[in-house]
Amino acid sequence: MIDLKVDFSKILGFVDQKEIDALQAEVTKSHQSIVQKTGAGNDFLGWVDLPSSIDEALLKSIEEDAARISKMADIFVVIGIGGSYLGARAVIEALNHNFSNLLPGECKHPQVVFAGNNLSEDYLADLIDVLDKRDYAMAVVSKSGTTTEPAIAFRILREHIEKKYGREEASKRIIAITDKERGVLKKLSLEEGYKSYVVPDDIGGRYSVLTPVGLLPIAVAGFDIRAMIEGAKAMRANSLASDVIANSPAAAYAAARTSLYRNQKTVEIMVGYQPSLVFFVEWWKQLYGESEGKENKGIFPAGVTFTADLHSMGQYIQEGERFIFETVISVEKPRRELSVPVDPQDLDGLNFTAGKRLCEVNKQAELGTLLAHVDGGVPNIKISVPAINENVIGQLVYFWEFACALSGYMLKVNPFDQPGVEAYKKNMFALLGKPGYEAQGAELRKRL
């Protein structure tokens, strides 16, 4: 059973229902391209059947490694960039205690921290200060095994962990997640005897949360990966069974955002009302940005957290240029309970909220904002879920992946490649003096 619902009634003043209905034929065509594996990038459709085909032995091995790491480490460093870290971070932050790092004694599981997703000297040096003092283990995640940012972080942290524990013990504290045979990371893990997991050939980084790339860190953080897979499985069944806009959340979302894009709404702002969803929005931004932004086309994916950003971006959204639409992640029930106390003196004048749960106040903020933004010319799509838990997260992950493929095909791009990511790398290598890039380096330096 799926609990996720998509409501696009609040885009109807901006787009005609007839226009959305007219997209059904295109949705069906895109759906067939995914199911029959006939569309562009069809060698990267491994994620489609993944939730129902995950091997029991793989799950057991991940759970055993998670238990082993929990015994030996207070901190688990996940080295990776883009699709090799965002999914894990999104899920862990969505499910974790908001201040788990300040409650270390009470947490039975290692604190998962991330590295190799930037080139900041300060960031890595600060992390090393912590790793000097605490027991740790790490996963290095790179499908290609050649990405510069994680490769440099791994070289530095490998030296640190070997100095701290000795080479043999260090090799038990390192897990590599990479291609089954290619790449330097595979070679290194064979030579050093690291435990390794495979990123399947037919699954791209941003679609890899339900592979060991996401599952291992999520399990180490203490969350139920089987429940997450169950949620994804339910959403898969729904998404494959129906391409009808009225029945399928993925079809509804893809049709709604495509119709808005064709009506000059070129920026989609994903809105969360929980700070714990910030990285879920980051993961969504990567999924949609890398999948659709090509050939000078694509909706620009942005993100905000309300109510915080109502005090920063709210003004623009309400009254700025009218090229935006919002998609709101609406969560019915929080994990915790907290009410506004009664104050007999009512000096702050807040007794009209007294006795109300904070989630009720948050919900009224959500509903009030929705109407204000619609009135201000910003169409709203609502994605509702009953709560944030592993099962719902699994549903959300699969829903967004499937809808992304549908939308990408409706946009007539290949949603599974990312040719544009190479341009900065070539310039960076040239400027760093990588052998083979000398002429380019000289040309670039003249322009700086």
State the DSSP H helix or E strand holding residue 27, giving kind and residue range, or none if neither.
Answer: helix 24-35
Catalytic hit among 18, 108, 311, 446: 311
The angle formed by the CA atoms of residues 251, 254 and 255, to the nearest 5 degrees, is 80
Backbone angles phi, psi at 60, to 5 degrees: -60, -45
Q: 204 or 231: whose CB is closer to ligand PA5?
A: 204
Catalytic hit among 5, 163, 187, 425: 425
349: left (phi over 0), alpha (psi -120 to 50) or beta: left
Return all residues near 62 (Cβ < 8 A) that are at least 6 apart: 197, 212, 215, 216, 219, 225
Place of tokens 């915790």: 336
Q: 51 or 204: whose CB is closer to ligand PA5?
A: 204
d(CA 343, CA 417): 58
Give the residue nearest to ligand PA5 (CB): 205
Q: 218 or 271: whose CB is closer to ligand PA5?
A: 218
Q: 352 or 424: whose CB is closer to ligand PA5?
A: 424
* Three-state helix/strand/coil letters over 301-335: EEEEECCHHHHCCHHHHHHCCCCEEEEEEEEEECC
Q: Which amino acid is at 96?
A: N
Closest CB 414 distance from ligand PA5, rounded Å: 13
Interacting residues with ligand PA5 (CB under 6 A): 81-84, 142-144, 147, 150, 204-206, 290, 418
State the DSSP H helix or E strand holding residue 390, giving kind and residue range, or none if neither.
Answer: helix 390-410
Q: Is the CB of residue 10 less than 8 Å from the CB of residue 382?
A: yes
Closest CB 396 distance from ligand PA5, rounded Å: 18
97 has catalytic annotation: no
Q: Is the peptide bond before 28 cis (omega within 30 degrees of 0)?
A: no
Q: 142 or 395: whose CB is closer to ligand PA5?
A: 142
Q: How many CB atoms lie within 10 A of CB 25?
A: 9
d(CA 306, CA 311): 9
438 has catalytic annotation: no
d(CA 13, CA 371): 12
d(CA 176, CA 157): 13
Closest CB 279 distance from ligand PA5, rounded Å: 15
Catalytic hit among 93, 290, 292, 366: 290
Closest CB 162 distance from ligand PA5, rounded Å: 22
Closest CB 208 distance from ligand PA5, rounded Å: 7
d(CA 328, CA 8): 11
Q: 15 or 176: whose CB is closer to ligand PA5?
A: 176
Structure tokens at 415: 């949603």
Q: Is the CB of residue 158 less than 8 Å from the CB of residue 174?
A: yes
Closest CB 189 distance from ligand PA5, rounded Å: 14
Backbone angles phi, psi at 187, to 5 degrees: -60, -45
Q: 147 or 327: whose CB is closer to ligand PA5?
A: 147
Closest CB 369 distance from ligand PA5, rounded Å: 32
311 has catalytic annotation: yes
Residues facing 5 on adjacent strands = 384
In 328-389, which ranges are continuous DSSP H helix? 358-375
Q: 21 or 181: whose CB is closer to ligand PA5?
A: 181
Query: Which DSSP state fits 242?
Result: -
State the DSSP H helix or E strand holding residue 426, giving kind and residue range, or none if neither.
Answer: helix 422-432
Nearest to 9 by CA among 316, 341, 382, 306: 382
The catalytic site residues sit at 290, 311, 425
